[in-house]
Amino acid sequence: MLKSIIFFIASLVIFFAGLILYGMVLNLREVTLSEALAEKHMSYMTNVHLLIDRRNYKLDLYSDTVLVKSYRAVFGRNNNGLRRPSLESQITPVGSYQICEIDTISGYHKFLRLNFPNYKDITEAYKAGMITEREYETFYDELEAGGCAKSAGKKFPRIGIHGTGRLNFIFKNLPFTFNWTNGSVAVSNENIDEIYSVIKPGTEVDIKN
Give the integer Cα–Cα distance in Å for 21 and 16. 9
* pLDDT confidence of residue 8: 55
Rounding to the nearest 10 degrees, give the CA dihedral for residues 67, 73, 77, 80: 40
pLDDT averaged per 10 residues in sequence order, the chain, 209 residues: 64 55 59 95 96 96 98 89 67 94 95 96 92 95 91 91 92 81 96 98 95
Contact 204, 51 (CB under 8 A): no
* pLDDT confidence of residue 33: 96
Give the integer Cα–Cα distance in Å for 99 and 191. 16
* pLDDT confidence of residue 2: 67
Report which of 57, 96, 94, 87 is spatially closest to residue 75, judged by C-alpha positions.
57
Contact 60, 51 (CB under 8 A): yes
Give, for 111, the enclosing helix (H) or strand (E): strand 111-114
Provide the pairing of β-strand 48-53 with 204-208: parallel
Contact 89, 78 (CB under 8 A): yes
Contact 188, 182 (CB under 8 A): no
Ramachandran category for residue 41: left, alpha or beta (phi over 0 → left; psi -120 to 50 → alpha): left
Give the integer Cα–Cα distance in Å for 87 and 90. 7
* pLDDT confidence of residue 22: 46
Domain segments of the chain as ranges: 1-30
* pLDDT confidence of residue 176: 72
